Chain A
């Protein structure tokens, strides 16, 4: 029971935006649609809301087809990327819109506005003009407006994308608590892994109008279904390995993997999956050596690209080093694998 998307397709003229997607969201579950921009995830969300007519397939709620149900009768709430707050109404006027459409009394509306504003941390904002709000406040009002209508399903279209990074991370946590606390059924569209993993019980990775994989965040992170998913989730290097007894052996050494499978397999390596440490040449030659070809400072680490003389077929491989021990350009470094950044593909 809950929301079910069945063989949904949307085309714009001859351009397919969503192609035969199947996805279900159980009552009380939060599912994230993760994918690069232009992959059709927003279109799919609009189709679920009823804003975009599907070319084939449909949307069901508790088993009932919503095909003939107009947008305003679906009882779905939506938070748009750019808020879409009504500019001619103040905060209270925006939040009270849903209850007003359902004929709630004035007193009841005022009460409800107070409740949801409190919930999103904007108590006392009733009389503010929407044009005076900061980006973060505007998005919280947009969320409050959607919540005030008591939607059966909450649809969030890149709700935090327009905000700067610090605010985005902070609001993602607030949002996750809200969704969890209310046991809300929600479908969240985002292009940001962290956001998807913070908010969702399950994540659906989407590309070119199709869903590639649906899984819980931890499993998705460790077991991307194919190389495309792995690449989208940050694996910059893919290499073959022999897997067995919880270990994977590859050209860069040995690493523990949470896989019961045995035999030949593929490893996806994120930058954090490979550590580069300078050794100065005095100690004995380490097992795997890399030569630094590029280096850039990131906020809490140094990102390097190395070539590995004993495995030239890999080309340049991304690795991380500590800021206070950053190797120089062309310097030889010791490399070892870090299980946190290694995924088993397939």
Chain B
């Protein structure tokens, strides 16, 4: 049954304006740069690049390392998903936060952590795969665990009572039911791994390159714009394929499952289930190791323990930066705050439009359009800005808001994914009840929609903040030497020789990690349990 309250019929003008703002922003700051890349790539170079065997070695390595990373992330993520979904235990909020932290850590920090742990001066493929997996374990655990916690446990019980062993019940009942979430997780993780930039840049050591790092190097070092554009085209094609697969998997997931309250399905593990819990514990320890390694490395120099890195924050390293570490930190904060309010505004407007759209088709199309920036790699985006920048009016071209624009574009899809399910889950009857008690349409939005999703919106803001804070791919193209952010500073420090530069880089990473972890902890406390996809 539909009601005239929640829908666009009530306020078509407001919804229309919101849609225009969101789509306008997407058009100028996303579609245009991407189209510019298309033009540049197709204009010349594509043929040469495609004919070059080096390109295909690059593609093969990109896909190969992504596939390996996905397998590792899947194997490590499943026991955690099981524990999150099916094990009744105290401290789950903390556990969920611990699992989530790696995902929101800046990629450059993850790369540095594994560099501290495994060393990568000459490139280290194993470290690349592990670092990518480390980053994406959270995606598997949360996506799969989210669905798992809502599966009706009695279906398994029925299979057991019909004579299936615990393992058999898992493979014949639970696993097929989880397939949509598994499919979506695999697609997303594969996507993230094949567009992973910061990790490969830090751990590839110049020897191992992916499409992402190659686009960056060709643009920044070789100034081969058309070659970079051709590679971006390849990248875009791969991304679209992965997104389509993920969308199909997600739609299938919405169809036939019997879902239950998460609290009904968790219990104390029995028998062989303890094995899985132990495996999950091992994975959790594995997640902690690089983090500890990073912290330890940040306080150890050639001659034992040292605070040199932290002390150097007030300086510019060994002259590698144009600004001091503290100034870079302030830049980071400023841009992240700007990006947060922008993405929050965009995300809320987009959610309002999506909720109001009646026709399933148009809602899905808009939803997909909003997700695209998440899929298109940050490097592509930054590169796109770079080549469209010249046509922008003078003030905007040099505006310090350009970096937050790019970061907001990347954070917005995540905010929509968090807020939208909560708003959609609000019973329309509540809006009806409020209206019957005398609340006008706008008052209903305020008293019901906003009031009920306030915590989630706050949590989404926190999430957007850490994503913007750690954003590296696009920012590395757009930040000017005097406005660099912390992640970009790390990359610059690393590119220069000198013990102090390295020490400062590790100290900056440790700081970023602490800030990120704190924000994630707050976000987890604020979140409405189990709603939202990330």
A residues with CB within 8 A of B:
12, 43, 46, 49-53, 70-78, 80, 82, 84, 86-88, 97-98, 101-102, 145-146, 149
Q: 9 A-B pairs, CB-CB below 8 angstroms?
A: A49-B432, A76-B436, A77-B436, A78-B436, A84-B429, A84-B432, A97-B437, A101-B439, A101-B443
B27 CB, nearest partner CB in chain A, Å: 35
For the A-B complex with A46-B3, A52-B3, A98-B437 known, give 14 more contacts whose Cβ atoms are closer than 8 Å. A43-B1, A46-B1, A52-B4, A71-B4, A72-B440, A73-B438, A78-B433, A80-B429, A80-B433, A82-B429, A84-B427, A88-B451, A97-B447, A101-B437
Residue B448 interfacial (CB < 8 Å): yes
Inter-subunit contact A88/B4 (CB<8 Å): no
> In the complex, which residues 414-436 of chain B have their Cβ closer than 8 Å to any Cβ of chain A?
427, 429-430, 432-436
Ranked 5 nearest A-B pairs via Cβ? A101-B438, A71-B435, A98-B437, A84-B429, A84-B433
Inter-subunit contact A12/B438 (CB<8 Å): no
Residues in B neighbouring A50, C-beta threshold 8 A: 4, 435
B residues with CB within 8 A of A:
1, 3-5, 427, 429-430, 432-441, 443-444, 447-448, 451-452
B453 CB, nearest partner CB in chain A, Å: 10
Inter-subunit contact A87/B452 (CB<8 Å): yes
User: CA–CA, A151 to B212, complex, Å?
Assistant: 64
Inter-subunit contact B435/A86 (CB<8 Å): no
B437 CB, nearest partner CB in chain A, Å: 4
Inter-subunit contact B440/A70 (CB<8 Å): yes
B6 CB, nearest partner CB in chain A, Å: 11
B345 CB, nearest partner CB in chain A, Å: 23
Residues in A neighbouring B436, C-beta threshold 8 A: 49, 51, 71-72, 74, 76-78, 146
Residues in B neighbouring A74, C-beta threshold 8 A: 436
Residues in A neighbouring B452, C-beta threshold 8 A: 87-88
Inter-subunit contact B432/A71 (CB<8 Å): yes
Residues in B neighbouring A70, C-beta threshold 8 A: 435, 440-441
Known contacts A76-B436, A101-B443; A86 and B430 CB within 8 A of each other: yes
Residues in B neighbouring A86, C-beta threshold 8 A: 430, 433-434, 447-448, 451
User: CA–CA, A97 to B451, complex, Å?
Assistant: 14
User: CA–CA, A215 to B322, complex, Å?
Assistant: 89
Residues in A neighbouring B437, C-beta threshold 8 A: 72, 77, 97-98, 101, 145-146, 149
User: CA–CA, A46 to B441, complex, Å?
Assistant: 17
Known contacts A70-B440, A97-B437, A101-B438; A12 and B430 CB within 8 A of each other: no
Smallest Cβ-Cβ distance to A17: which chain B residue: B1
Smallest Cβ-Cβ distance to A149: which chain B residue: B437
B377 CB, nearest partner CB in chain A, Å: 40
Residues in A neighbouring B447, C-beta threshold 8 A: 86, 97
Inter-subunit contact A51/B432 (CB<8 Å): yes
Inter-subunit contact B5/A84 (CB<8 Å): no
Partner of A72, one of B3, B427, B438: B438
Residues in A neighbouring B438, C-beta threshold 8 A: 72-73, 75, 98, 101-102, 149
User: CA–CA, A49 to B436, complex, Å?
Assistant: 7
Residues in A neighbouring B427, C-beta threshold 8 A: 84
Inter-subunit contact B430/A84 (CB<8 Å): yes
User: CA–CA, A52 to B4, complex, Å?
Assistant: 7
Partner of B434, one of A43, A49, A97: A97
User: CA–CA, A146 to B427, complex, Å?
Assistant: 18
Partner of A71, one of B5, B430, B448: B5
Residues in A neighbouring B441, C-beta threshold 8 A: 70, 72
A140 CB, nearest partner CB in chain B, Å: 15
Residues in B neighbouring A76, C-beta threshold 8 A: 436
Residues in B neighbouring A12, C-beta threshold 8 A: 1
Residues in A neighbouring B1, C-beta threshold 8 A: 12, 43, 46, 52
Smallest Cβ-Cβ distance to B426: which chain A residue: A87
User: CA–CA, A51 to B437, complex, Å?
Assistant: 12
Inter-subunit contact A72/B439 (CB<8 Å): yes
Residues in B neighbouring A145, C-beta threshold 8 A: 433, 437
Smallest Cβ-Cβ distance to B432: which chain A residue: A51
Interface hub of B430, B435, B440, B441 (most chain A Cβ within 10 A) = B435
Residues in A neighbouring B4, C-beta threshold 8 A: 50-53, 71
Residues in A neighbouring B434, C-beta threshold 8 A: 86, 97
B139 CB, nearest partner CB in chain A, Å: 30
Residues in A neighbouring B451, C-beta threshold 8 A: 86, 88
A86 CB, nearest partner CB in chain B, Å: 6
Residues in A neighbouring B435, C-beta threshold 8 A: 50-51, 70-72
Inter-subunit contact A51/B443 (CB<8 Å): no
A339 CB, nearest partner CB in chain B, Å: 43
Residues in B neighbouring A78, C-beta threshold 8 A: 432-433, 436
User: CA–CA, A236 to B443, complex, Å?
Assistant: 51
Interface hub of B4, B5, B438, B444 (most chain A Cβ within 10 A) = B438
User: CA–CA, A84 to B431, complex, Å?
Assistant: 9
A31 CB, nearest partner CB in chain B, Å: 19
User: CA–CA, A43 to B1, complex, Å?
Assistant: 9
Residues in B neighbouring A75, C-beta threshold 8 A: 438
A151 CB, nearest partner CB in chain B, Å: 8
User: CA–CA, A12 to B1, complex, Å?
Assistant: 8
Smallest Cβ-Cβ distance to A103: which chain B residue: B438
Smallest Cβ-Cβ distance to B444: which chain A residue: A72
Interface hub of A53, A80, A84 (most chain B Cβ within 10 A) = A84
Smallest Cβ-Cβ distance to A101: which chain B residue: B438
Interface hub of B3, B436, B443, B451 (most chain A Cβ within 10 A) = B436
User: CA–CA, A52 to B435, complex, Å?
Assistant: 13
Partner of B3, one of A51, A82, A97: A51
Smallest Cβ-Cβ distance to A145: which chain B residue: B437
Smallest Cβ-Cβ distance to B438: which chain A residue: A101
Residues in B neighbouring A98, C-beta threshold 8 A: 437-438
User: CA–CA, A75 to B437, complex, Å?
Assistant: 7
User: CA–CA, A50 to B3, complex, Å?
Assistant: 9
A159 CB, nearest partner CB in chain B, Å: 13
Residues in B neighbouring A84, C-beta threshold 8 A: 427, 429-430, 432-433
User: CA–CA, A49 to B437, complex, Å?
Assistant: 11
A156 CB, nearest partner CB in chain B, Å: 12
